[in-house]
Every structure is written in structure tokens, then in C-alpha cells.
A and B are shown apart, each in its own frame.
Chain A
Amino acid sequence: MSFREKSAWLMAVAVLTGGVFYALATAGLSAQLGAAAPLAPVIVALVAVMAAIAIFGHVIVALLAPKDADPALDERDRIVMARAGAISAYVFATGVVCALGGYLVTRDGDALFHFVFASLFIGQFAEYALQIVFYRCA
């Protein structure tokens, strides 16, 4: 498994962990209040957790296989990343359009924030998951 594929696995786990953490934190509040307002401390904690997973994970992966930890992308890496990025952009855009449509109906700005934020996470997760699939298939 290449460093890039390991990196994609790591980032997929980081995004999934962050998304579940945010969803649980928000769902807990929203169950009592309706769509809860976004809380800056939760988002800061989320970013910190994801950054920690990404940084320490990449350091460990690089230490375990220093020869493969070359940051340069080759032609296959570029194709894999471009295709995964293009498809995940559609995933993100679809989520944002649905969130905007929901806002037109509900006029709930907090829910709009959460849906757009969720779309960002789903789009990012899709990007890393697709990178893994493309690395496995090609």
C-alpha cells in the first residue's frame, strides 16, 4: 500500500471520527432545542481532534515506511486525486443545494449551517473513500 493510499485511509478515519463527533454533539443539543445553533467550542474541538489524528497518523505512517513517505505526486496519484476530487465536489454541491432548498422551506439558519457542514464532511469522506477505491482498482 502506497503512502498516498495510507494517507487516504487515515484522512477518511479522521473525517469520519470528526463527523460522528460533531453529529453526536449537535444531535444531543438539537434533541432538546430543535436545530441547535452551531457552537464555536465544538467546532474548535472538532478541528483539533481531526488535526491531531492527521498529524500524528502521518508521522507514524512515515516512520513505519520512510522510503515511501515521498510527498511528490506521480502521474497515477494526480489522476486518482483529480477523479476523486471531481466526484466528491458533486457530492458536496448536492448536499449544499439540498441544504439551501431546505432553508427556503424552513427558514432555519442553524439547520442550514449544520446541513452545509455535514455536506462538507460527506464530500471530504467521499473524496478519501474514492481515492482508496481508485488506488485499489488502478
Chain B
Amino acid sequence: MSKRPPITNRVRELRERRGQMTQAALGDAIGVTRHTVIAIEQGRYSPSLESAFRIARLFGVGVEDVFGWEGDG
């Protein structure tokens, strides 16, 4: 947990693309706090598989469209 996970994500980009969706609104939608959304967007925390699927489904994309492995482009 103290080591930055090697997982990249496009959560912020997808959230901002979806109108005025706030971090708090995204957190409410997937069942986490605003601070956890901030940690995910900053790459400090990798969400559980369940939350990853919830995020992807919320944005109408696949999990691999939201999350990637560092260095995989």
C-alpha cells in the first residue's frame, strides 16, 4: 500500500468527459468516499475489482478502457 501501484487509469478523464460529474458524485455512484476517488485518480490507490467494474459500467466502457498496466501504453 505504501508503494505506488503500477496501474494507470483514465478515471479523471472519463469523469470530466461526463459533464459536470464531481468526485463526490462518482464516489456515491460506486460506493466509496470522495477521498478514495481522489486517491484512485492520483494513482495512489488501486480499487477493488468490484469497484473497477462499477466505474467501467458507470462510464459505459470496458474495464481495460479505464485501467491499464504501467508501461503498456
Residue numbers of A with Cβ under 8 A of B are 1-2, 5, 67-68, 70, 74-77, 79-80, 83, 133-134, 137-138
* Interface size in chain B (residues, C-beta < 8 A): 16
User: A81 CA to B36 CA in the complex, in Å?
Assistant: 14
Q: Is the beta-carbon distance between A138 and B32 smaller than 8 angstroms?
A: no
List 12 contacting pairs A-B, 8 Å CB cutoff, sorted by A.
A2-B35, A67-B24, A74-B31, A75-B51, A76-B32, A76-B35, A83-B1, A133-B2, A137-B2, A138-B1, A138-B39, A138-B45
Question: Which residue among A68, A74, A77 has the maximum number of chain B CB atoms within 10 Å of its CB?
Answer: A74
A-B contact count (CB 8 A): 41
The dominant DSSP class at the B interface is: loop
In the assembled complex, which residues on chain A have CB atoms less than 8 Å from the CB atom of B31? 74
Q: Is the beta-carbon distance between A76 and B45 smaller than 8 angstroms?
A: yes
Within the complex, the shortest CB–CB distance from B51 to chain A, in Å, comes to 6
Within the complex, the shortest CB–CB distance from B26 to chain A, in Å, comes to 12
With A75-B48, A75-B51, A76-B45: A138-B35 Cβ-Cβ less than 8 Å: no
With A75-B36, A76-B36: A137-B48 Cβ-Cβ less than 8 Å: no
Selected from B1, B34, B47, the residue in CB contact (under 8 A) with A80 is B1
Q: Is the beta-carbon distance between B36 and A74 smaller than 8 angstroms?
A: yes
Q: Is the beta-carbon distance between B44 and A137 smaller than 8 angstroms?
A: yes
Within the complex, the shortest CB–CB distance from B47 to chain A, in Å, comes to 7
Question: Which residue among B27, B33, B36, B44 has the maximum number of chain A CB atoms within 10 Å of its CB?
Answer: B33
Within the complex, the shortest CB–CB distance from B58 to chain A, in Å, comes to 16
User: A75 CA to B35 CA in the complex, in Å?
Assistant: 11
